[in-house]
Structure 1
Amino acid sequence: MLGRPRHRHRLALGVLALAVGLVAGTGCSVEGSGQGSSGPRPTFTGPYAAEFEKYYGLATTDFEREVIATGEISDAAYAEMEERFSSCLADHGIEFSGFEENGAYETSSAPGGADATVALVNECAESSGANTIGLLHDIMFRDPENVGAPAMMAECLLRTGIVEDGYTAEDFTRDEEGRFLDLGTLPPDDWTAYLGCSEDPSGYAR
């Protein structure tokens, strides 16, 4: 271990926008115009067709475009992306903890301090494919059928038993501005269930 201060980060899951503010640190934004390859753009199908189309257009490397063009993110492709990200950070003297299932990760500080760390992490996230391949992998892991965050949260909360039968996505959206607005006021069991569903809505309480 390097012994320098560590920073908490998370890939910016803007499509789901679950648990905003639960993970402190820096979100890696998706930027860049995406130059595209010289060949024809692939046609995507399935529940995430629009997202694959979007991130194919944002891709800046042949590696990203080749992976995204397949219409899936294989374990091997994700592992290669993670290795590229880790190697890029290592080249800048930054230690990387590895991605967690929810897209969160930790790094050590860059030699130049916190601001330099943010800039270099963002740079590596773009060049390695973390901002495209990584984000696609994470949003599909959390919501395989692309039903949307409110529906997934409602289903998860139903499984925990802290909401009544018939609880819907609309109920959850309303409760985000009411019951769940201040998590500190929730009973301990409700607080635990809400956080568990926020971190893993498709798998928590199964």
Structure 2
Amino acid sequence: MALLATAALAGCAVSGVGAGQDGWAPSPSYSGPVPEFSGPWASEFAEAYRSTTSEVVHTILAKGSITDRDYASVSSAYVQCMSNKGLKAVVTGQFGESTVEGDGDVNAANEACSADFSVISALRYSTSRNPQHLDENEIVVACLIKAKVAPPSYTAKNYAADLETQDFPFSTSVAGFLSCTSDPLGLSTSQ
């Protein structure tokens, strides 16, 4: 029987990977020295660095940016790890989206294989959609108003409250809402 699962890892919490018996296992937080990062996402890079003992992730993050090559490297490692567990994973997007097919415990395999991929995907997603690390609620609301999803009187404070309760005074199933929450600055049409 084939099992199909879709994982958008970009939204996952940052977690670490260390070398286990098969090369992939959860690891404790890192307690060593952390590079001094600069730029709008410096604290998030430092937090991601501290969240793992993975040398692969540390090497990527130490540069202060995540390249397409870095993403391809962790994507390939994720696909190979899932294959080693008898599952076929295909990375379908730029920010950790993937599909998984096969017989077996997809959740357990994903947990064992996705740590490096999750760290890099999540940070890549955040830095790509909001490079200057502007206030998230403000940029989403500005987009919602521009797209005429929300009224001009709608504020970032309104959005924060509505986000918490998941009770919005407008439809969240319209394309404008989905577009504004995934790409509020309109930086990519492929997200």
Give the TM-score normalised by the residue count of structure 2: 0.78
1:71 and 2:64 matched: yes
Contact 2:95 2:124 in 1 (8 A): no
> Of 104, 108, 118, which residue of structure 2 is paired with 1:119?
108
> What amino acid does structure 1 have at the position aligned with 2:174?
W
Percent identity of paired positions between Structure 1 and Structure 2: 22
1:180-199, aligned counterparts within 5 Å?
181=167, 186=171, 191-199=174-182
Unaligned regions of 5+ residues in structure 2, if any? Answer: 17-26
Structure 1 Cα separation of the partners of residues 81 and 188 of structure 2: 37
Contact 1:34 1:59 in 2 (8 A): yes
- What residue in structure 1 maps to residue 29 of structure 2? 34
Give the TM-score normalised by the residue count of structure 1: 0.73
1:47-196, aligned counterparts within 5 Å?
47-109=40-102, 111-112=103-104, 116-126=105-115, 129-165=116-152, 167-176=154-163, 181=167, 186=171, 191-196=174-179
Which segment drifts farther, 3-12 or 132-141? 3-12
Cα deviation code 1:1-37 (max 9, x no counterpart): xx82211212152xxxxxxxxxxxxx57625423466
Aligned residues: CA RMSD: 2.9
Contact 1:36 1:65 in 2 (8 A): no
User: Aligned with 1:81: secondary structure?
Assistant: helix
Change (3 A) 1:205 1:192: farther
Structure 2 Cα separation of the partners of residues 57 and 205 of structure 1: 29
Which segment drifts farther, 154-163 or 42-51? 154-163
